Amino acid sequence: QQPVQSPQAVILREGEDAVINCSSSKALYSVHWYRQKHGEAPVFLMILLKGGEQKGHDKISASFNEKKQQSSLYLTASQLSYSGTYFCGTVRFSGNTPLVFGKGTRLSVIA
Amino acid sequence: DAGVTQSPTHLIKTRGQQVTLRCSPKSGHDTVSWYQQALGQGPQFIFQYYEEEERQRGNFPDRFSGHQFPNYSSELNVNALLLGDSALYLCASSYASPGNTEAFFGQGTRLTVV
């Protein structure tokens, strides 16, 4: 079951904040966030496990609301380097289940 | 550490032909997953290999098959190519199931079917 991401695209000026959401209709074990720049491989950002944890590094953080089966990625004080497409990937069980990705959110940061 | 490496980087094939794509996982990783990424879309899960067996499979026809070797490297084979198979094919490696571990992606193979 593919997770649903919103918004599909967002344009920010440097220094502005953004929130990207990822929702699932099924119970999840974990949510993974990746960023992909044009022509490059997706790069891992962070994993959140069920239990409603929140993680972050630098000015990018994320939360996972287990009750809502929703994860949010927070980008604060955006930089030009944050531009790219952000994908959430979800895993339903801790065993042999695949990482299933949403359609992505295209983020463009302009000067 | 070379990370995940894929070959070739680009490939042009004719409809009806067969293609083999290759992936070497990151050192220490034993699980390889293959994804198809169409332009402007998210990666779509094809299948996952662990201990030389296909462990999970996405919604792809039998024309898509794979293999994992004892050194954990993997191949993706696509038979009877269709124009719609044109896409970026990504390989991701992880240690065991990617449920709670980071999956590393290769740069991908850009397949064009003409």
Q: Look at residues A32, A56, A51 and name the one whose alpha carbon lies nearest to residue A43.
A: A32
| Chain A contact present for B112, CB below 8 A | no
Q: Using one digit for the tens of pLDDT, what is the confidence trace for B45-97?
A: 999 999 999 999 999 999 999 999 999 999 999 999 999 999 999 999 998 77
Q: Give the whole-angstrom CA distance, residue A47 versus residue A76.
A: 18
Longest dimension (CA), chain A: 44
Residue A62 parent element (H or E): strand A60-65
pLDDT band at B99 (very low <50, low <70, confident <90, very high): confident
The sign of the CA dihedral B9, B14, B16, B17 is negative
User: Minimal Cα–Cα distance from A15 to chain B, Å?
Assistant: 26
Q: Which residues contact A39 (CB under 8 A, 6 or more apart)?
A: none
Using CB atoms, which residue from B41, B103, B106 is nearest to A99? B103
Separation between Cα atoms, residue B62 and residue B83, nearest integer Å: 16
> In the predicted model, what is the mean pLDDT of residues A65-81?
93
pLDDT reported for residue B1: 66
- Contact across the interface for B44 and A101, Cβ inside 8 Å: yes
- The vertex-A29 CA angle with A24 and A31, nearest 5°, equals 60
B103 contact A CB<8A: yes
Partner B, chain A 46-85, Cβ-Cβ below 8 Å: 47, 49
Q: What is the pLDDT of residues A11-41, one digit of tens each?
A: 999 999 999 999 999 999 999 999 999 888 9
CA dist B6 and B79 (Å) reads: 19
Of B41, B56, B103, Cβ closest to residue A97: B56
Three-class secondary structure of residue A38 per DSSP: coil
Buried b (16+ CB within 10 A) or exposed e, B50-62: beeeebbebebee
Q: Of residues B108 and A49, which shows the higher confidence score?
A: B108
**Nearest CA to CA, how far is A10 from chain B (Å)?**
15
B114's tokens: 């003409």
B33 at A interface, C-beta within 8 A: yes
Report yes or no: A71 and A51 within 8 Å, Cβ to Cβ.
Answer: no
Considering only CB atoms, A42 lies closest to which of B50, B97, B105, namely B105
Chain B contact present for A29, CB below 8 A: yes
Would you state the pLDDT for residue B13?
Answer: 98
Q: What is the pLDDT of residue A52?
A: 63
- Sequence letter at residue A64: F
The residue in chain B having the minimum alpha-carbon distance to the alpha carbon of residue A99 is B98
pLDDT at A98: 87
Span A81-100, pLDDT tens digits? 999 999 999 999 887 788 89
Q: Does B41 touch chain A (CB under 8 A)?
A: yes
Closest CA to B35 of B21, B15, B16: B21
Tell me if A29 and B99 make a contact (CB, 8 A cut-off).
yes
Of chain B, the percentage scoring pLDDT greater than 70 comes to 99
Count Cβ neighbours within 10 Å for each residue of A82-104 and write b for 16 or more, e otherwise. bbbbbbbbbbbeeeebbbbbbbb
- Residue B14: what are its φ and ψ, rounded to 5°? -100, 150
From the list A104, A21, A17, the residue with the least C-alpha distance to A65 is A21
